[in-house]
Amino acid sequence: MGQRYFVNSPVDSDHVTLSGPEAHHLIHVMRAGIGDQVILFDGSGCQFSAEIQRLEKSSADLLICERQTINLELPVHLTVATALPKGERQKWLVEKLVELGTSCLIPLVTQRAVSKPVPQALSRLERSVVESSKQCGRNQLMKINQPLTVPELIEQASPDTLRIVAHSEPASGAKSMDELLSSTAATETVLTIGPEGGWTDEEIGHFVSSQWQVVGLGPRVLRMETAAMALVARCVIQDQWM
């Protein structure tokens, strides 16, 4: 795979102008020259072979040589709704969700959350989505939704969706992840992970009364980003999406 660059508007003609951080990386980091070939993608699901025709200090003009539709997405729409961890762990979380094929990330505002999903943080995470997509070859961008509270998430989730919430103390007799995944025909799945301090009784009560499936993740206490990876990877492997 050649060097990949993101175009932040639809590629709908034979010529594209690359600017901003992507142009800076192409021109000043990779030291690209006239005639060099690169790969572009615009988040639509397509990628484009392109040739550099002109270079300026902060922009590059490219000729589109070939358009390809390469689908690396999961066969179901997979949403992860989670409280955000601290600092650089947010970026790590986003990177791995993108690599595993997650369709959508919903930052949760919970009663015990330690990190607030403020606009500046979400903007940085959106940039991480682009960088991770460039690395792993995805041509569709994972969407980062606006933050939701637990009641808002429950209200917006369709009853036809497989709705799973991770909890350190699932009720006796609760179904396992294997049972839930093997018995559903849902085309959308929502995986929900709480904050480092755990869910409150009130929050878990909201999920249970709304018919969400509460699952455990074993006897050890996991960081929220570890729990998210465990759930997503379990879904991917269960349905042989890898």
User: What CATH number is given to the structural domain containing 231?
Assistant: 3.40.1280.10
Rounded to two decimals, the pTM is 0.91
For residue 116, the model assigns a pLDDT of: 86
Which of 129, 64, 59, 119 shows the shortest CA–CA distance to 92?
A: 129
Task: State which of 34, 69, 104 marks the end of a domain.
Answer: 69
**How many domains is the chain partitioned into structurally?**
2
Q: How far is CA 30 from the centre of its chain?
A: 27
For residues 46 and 64, membership in a common domain is answered with: yes
Per-residue pLDDT at 242: 46
**Which of 37, 69, 101 is the endpoint of a domain?**
69
Q: Which residue type sits at 82?
A: T
CATH of the domain at 46: 2.40.240.20
Given this model, what pLDDT does residue 239 score? Answer: 59
Give the residue from 42, 69, 96 where a domain finishes: 69
| Tokens found for residue 36 | 């060099």
* Domain housing 61: 4-69
Q: Is 43 left (phi over 0), alpha (psi -120 to 50) or beta?
A: left
Low-confidence residues of the chain: pLDDT under 50: 242
